Amino acid sequence: MSRMKGPAIFLAQFTGAEAPFDKLDSITRWAADLGYKGVQIPTWEAGLIDLEQAAQSKDYCDEITGICANNGIEITELSTHLQGQLVAVHPAYDEQFDGFAPAAVHGNPKARQEWAVQQLMLAARASQNLGLQAHATFSGALLWHTFYPWPQRPQGLVETGFRELAERWLPILNAFDSAGVDLCYEIHPGEDLHDGVTFERFLEATGNHARCNILYDPSHFVLQQLDYIQFIDFYHERIKMFHVKDAEFNPNGRSGVYGGYQDWTDRAGRFRSLGDGQVDFSGIFSQFARYGFEGWAVLEWECCLKHPEDGAREGVDFINHHIIRTTERAFDDFAGGVADDASNRRILGLD
């Protein structure tokens, strides 16, 4: 039997001030009515979860788990994408990333980083209290402004950057280890962990930490023109989370991978609703079935054209269609014989 769970939906792109998207009870009821079985919760949305209270109180976690369960929904994972981003910020991005943090730490990179680290520590305990197995985040970036080697990078720059990144994350990884939860970095442009090579660099710098794992999202690999099927071959043992998100790449004589600073609708690479892009999901789900992936298939809606509610509605059937119920026997078993060592030796001419 297939061990993949789903469909689930990441709520970050759907929460808002209007009902049913403003409260955990109503948004999980909306998701369940569409046919979703799980929700991934962004921890920066106070209307959905109080992260500090979740870290401190098992009773509170039982309460919000109960709210979801009453609507037929499981909590799949928590997310600290915005907070994780702030664990490592190059000064060039300070002003832009201040918006991810409370006003009290704006203009103070040291205080902002300390706040972000504390948020991750809370998320580890909250995930444990909720009985979750994995957690989603971003790595942040110290080196992203050097991703294209011009001017050429000084010798040792990359090693220094990943050593510093690992030093910042190791206490957090250890906290997640103590909580029994895998910390899954979304491999994503703009982060120092943006492809397989950079993940390997970081993993090595952490001493191959057991809790250092991957949130797999093929859309970001389409935009980089990376082989997202073979990626699963390389890293399936570290892939603990899966965002089901589509994308397309249509280069032309004016624009390619880098996008020309254009809006999303005009870029050669852009995110699409499920089924509207170019991602080979049949290949992806087959690979996950091959390797026995046990996590959730979580819709992340990010489309520059389609309405989010339409994307959410269509995503249920799309994911259900692609989850593979794996076979328990070989298709040609009907033609096989009883195993017998003596007959096998005769067939091989050994007797």
pLDDT of 13: 96
Asked whether the predicted pLDDT for residue 111 surpasses 60, the reply is yes
pLDDT at position 338, please? 78
Write out pLDDT tens, residues 46-103: 999 999 999 999 999 999 999 999 999 999 999 999 999 999 999 999 999 999 999 9
Give pLDDT, residue 328. Answer: 79
Q: What is the pLDDT of residues 10-52, one digit of tens each?
A: 999 999 999 999 999 999 999 999 999 999 999 999 999 999 9
The pLDDT of 273-296, averaged and rounded, is 97
Query: Do 67 and 28 form a contact (C-beta atoms < 8 A)?
Result: yes
Beta carbons of 213 and 184 less than 8 angstroms apart: yes
Does the domain at residues 5-347 carry the CATH identifier 3.40.50.720? no
From 246, 245, 332, 233, select the one nearest 290 (Cα to Cα): 233
Sorting pLDDT into bands at 50, 70 and 90, what band is 2? low
For the residues 221-243, what does the mean pLDDT come to? 98
**Rg, the chain, Cα only:** 22
pLDDT of 1 > 60? The answer is no
CB 26 within 8 A of CB 316: no
Condensed to tens digits (0 to 9), the pLDDT of residues 287-310 reads 999 999 999 999 999 999 999 999
Percent of the chain with pLDDT over 70: 99
Length of the chain measured in residues? 351
Collect all residues with Cβ–Cβ distance below 8 Å to 295 and sequence separation of at least 6: 4, 5, 133, 134, 239, 240, 241, 242
Mean pLDDT of 236-256: 98
Question: CA 36 to CA 18: how far, in whole Å?
Answer: 20
- What is the reported pLDDT for 333? 76
Peptide bond before residue 251 is cis, with ω within 30 degrees of 0 = no
Q: Measuring CA to CA, which residue among 4, 72, 3 is closest to residue 296? A: 4
Task: Name the phi and psi angles at 247, rounded to 5.
Answer: -160, 170
Q: Which amino acid is at 4?
A: M
Using alpha carbons, select from 275, 189, 286, 271 the residue that is nearest to residue 236. Answer: 286
Q: Give the residue-averaged pLDDT of 222-245.
A: 98
Q: Which helix (H) or strand (E) segment is 93 a member of?
A: none
pLDDT band at 331 (very low <50, low <70, confident <90, very high): confident
Residue 351's pLDDT is what?
77
Residues 119-139 have a mean pLDDT of 98
| 335 — pLDDT class (breaks 50, 70, 90) | confident
Mean per-residue pLDDT of the chain = 96
Global pTM reads 0.96
